[in-house]
Every structure is written in structure tokens, then in C-alpha cells.
Amino acid sequence: MVSIKDIAKLTGFSVTTVSRALNNHSDVNQHTKEIIQKAARENNYSPNILAKSLVNKNSKTFGFITSNFSATGLMDSVSFKLFMNCVFRANELGYEIVLIHYQATMYSQKTFTQIISERNLEGAIVQGFDEDAPLCAEAAKSSIPTVFIDIEQINESTSYVGSDVKKAAELGLSYLLAKGHESICFIHGTQGSWVTQKWLLEVNNFRKRNTSKIKNFYLLDGGYSLEIAKKSTKEFYTTTDSKKVTAIFAASDVMGIGAMKGLKECGVEVPQDVSLLGYDNILLAEYFTPALTTISQNLEGVARQSIDHLLELKNGQRVGPGILDVTLVERESVGDIS
């Protein structure tokens, strides 16, 4: 690989002059620039971006730290879609994104600051963690620009971006009530997740305002997992209470699909026997049978705002939360009681 030193030897100029010419500095005359740049082109010289960033301490690179990637379902993962949309937005603004799949066993001896400094990152997006995860606490206390997705952390160096869970809860439950469903089961994610607690708060608030309309209400822990939601649903359908339920609302499409599989194994048909509503609008939801009615997140908007917030934090601005709108997508899995 050709270096600046090689170009200097070929042209007879100093390394400093070559460097400044290649970076188009005004203190190098045009004739010298043309000689050096021609030599660089002819010898296929390309700058070492990493080395340059280490010198300038300006890598123009952010990290995307997640614990949510798995070997299966990657292309339909919410985390993967967020990551790719962050890449697109960062590239528009001249930045790069480094993916860091965080596994506690691998990173147990490293702090958040070490993870960032080892890669010379200017900031990070943190997604897919429970609120009490050590990494989140370290990131919130550091001075490194950090944007949390679905974890509410706001201070001088951090911001929070997520979808409007309050609207999602009201939109979904109102839709089921409008379809005549008075006995509803809600499947939530892991208890340690901030967004799960937000869901439970908003669902409970809606129930309090609609006590006359909701006759029976049940909660199931789906663990943000297809298999856990499937198991929880099957276990629930061994109880007498399950016979009262006419609709299930899952706080993710993955859990919704897990519930659908569990219902099928119990001999319960969707939507003939039980209606099913999801959340996220992943690609698989549209192609499952029956196609899953869901509430769609604006993942592109979440990603764009996350990158924009990072740049604002990097420039010393204090940034408030970014809450993105959600919309209902009607398909085949919710029936009308009437």
C-alpha cells in the first residue's frame, strides 16, 4: 500500500508538503499540488482514514451498540432495521456507523468509555438493553455523546429517542374496543425494560379511563421473544380465564407471531376465535397467515432523529427527547365481534 512517505520520495517534496497538498491546503502553490496529486493518482494512493482520525481526534464515526441481534431473523429484526437506517442517515451527513453487538461475557471487563475510545468513536447510539444494564448506567454518567433508543435518559451528554408508546397503547386498545372486544389479553416484554414499564403504565391508564368498556383484562409476559410468547400463550390457554378472551394485543410483532403459533397449537383460530394485534410492523407480519394487523413504528424517523441528536450533542447542545408518531396498519388478524 502506497504511503505519504512513498509519494514524498517519488516527487522530492517533504512529507509535510505532500500531506498539505493532498489535503488541498492554500499555503501549497497550485503547481506543486498538481505534481503531488498526479503522483498520488498514478500510484493508487489512498489516505489512511483511521490514522488521520487518530491524529485529528475527529473520526466522524459513531457506534451503534445493541444486544438484540441473533443468528436467526436478522433481516427482519427491529434492531437491524434501526441500525441500517442509522447508517443511511449518518452517510448522508458524512459520518460512518460501527456496529457493536454487545455480549456481557465478552465485554464484562470493559467500560463504556473503553469501548468508545478503543474504536475512536465520537458518540454512540444504545439500543436493546434493559434500563438497569451496567452499560446504560456507565453511558449516562459519561461525557460521551449518547442517544438511547427506548430508554429515557436525558442530561447534558445524552438524549432519548423512541416511538409514542402512549399513543400506541390508546390506538391499539381503542381499535379493539371499537371492534367489540371487551375481554383482552396484553402480552408485554421483559420487566426490566424501560419501554415495557412505559407500556404497562399507559395500558393501565387506558383501562382506568375505560373501566365500563373492558370487562376482563389479563397480562402475559412474552419476554420480547417468539418462543416465550408462544409458551406463555399455550400455558394461558390451559386456564378457564382464557375462554373469556376475544382479543390479544402484543407489544411486538415477534411476540404476536409467537402468540399466533401458540394459539394454533391449542386449536384456536385467528381471527375466527381470537383476534390478534401486534406492534412494530416488521416485514414478516405482512406475510404471515393470517397477515398480522399491527401498529407501525417509524423506524426510519427514529434512526434519523437519533443521528441528528448525536450531532447536536457532539456540538455541545442540550437535546430533549424525540418521540415519533405511530400508525395503525389493518390486515387480517383482527375480527369484528358484531
Q: What does the pLDDT look like over 310-326, one tens digit per residue? A: 999 999 998 989 999 99
| Burial environment of residue 291 by CB neighbours within 10 A (0 to 12, 13 to 18, 19 or more) | middle
Locate CATH 3.40.50.2300 in the chain.
61-163+299-324, 165-298
The percent of residues above 70 in pLDDT, for the chain, comes to 93
* Cα of 316 vs its chain's centroid, Å: 24
Q: Would the pLDDT of 240 be above 80?
A: yes
User: Could you tell me which of 187, 171, 177 has the C-alpha nearest to residue 259?
Assistant: 187
Give pLDDT tens digits for 4-53.
Answer: 888 889 999 998 898 888 878 888 899 999 999 899 888 888 766 555 55
**How many Å from the N-terminal Cα to the C-terminal Cα in the chain?**
73
Q: Would the pLDDT of 166 be above 60?
A: yes
Sheet order of strands, 146-149 included: 96-101, 61-66, 124-127, 146-149, 158-163, 322-324
Q: Any bridge partners for residue 277, and if so which?
A: 249, 293
Least confident of 192-196, 207-211, 270-274: 192-196
Give pLDDT tens digits for 113-127.
Answer: 988 988 889 999 999
Residues 65/127, Cβ–Cβ less than 8 Å = yes
Q: What is the pLDDT of residue 76?
A: 59
**Grid cell listed for 322:** 424525540
CA-CA distance, 110 to 103, in Å (whole number)?
Answer: 11
Q: What is the pLDDT of residue 73?
A: 52
Q: Choose the CATH number for 165-298 among 3.30.465.10, 3.50.50.60, 3.40.50.2300, 3.40.50.1580.
A: 3.40.50.2300
Q: What is the pLDDT of residue 54?
A: 47
Query: Is 61-163+299-324 CATH 3.40.50.2300?
Result: yes
Mean pLDDT across the stretch 90-119? Answer: 86
SS (H, E, C) the chain: CCCHHHHHHHHCCCHHHHHHHHCCCCCCCHHHHHHHHHHHHHCCCCCCHHHHHHHHCCCCEEEEEECCCCCCCHHHCHHHHHHHHHHHHHHHCCCEEEEEECCHHHHCCCCHHHHHHHCCCCCEEEECCCCCCHHHHHHHHCCCCEEEECCCCCECCEEEEEECHHHHHHHHHHHHHHCCCCEEEEEECCCCCHHHHHHHHHHHHHHHHCCCCCCEEEEEECCCCHHHHHHHHHHHCCCHHHHHCCEEEECCHHHHHHHHHHHHHCCCCCCCCCEEEEEECCHHHHHCCCCCEEEEECHHHHHHHHHHHHHHHHCCCCCCCEEECEEEECCCCCCCCC
Residues 50/42, Cβ–Cβ less than 8 Å = no
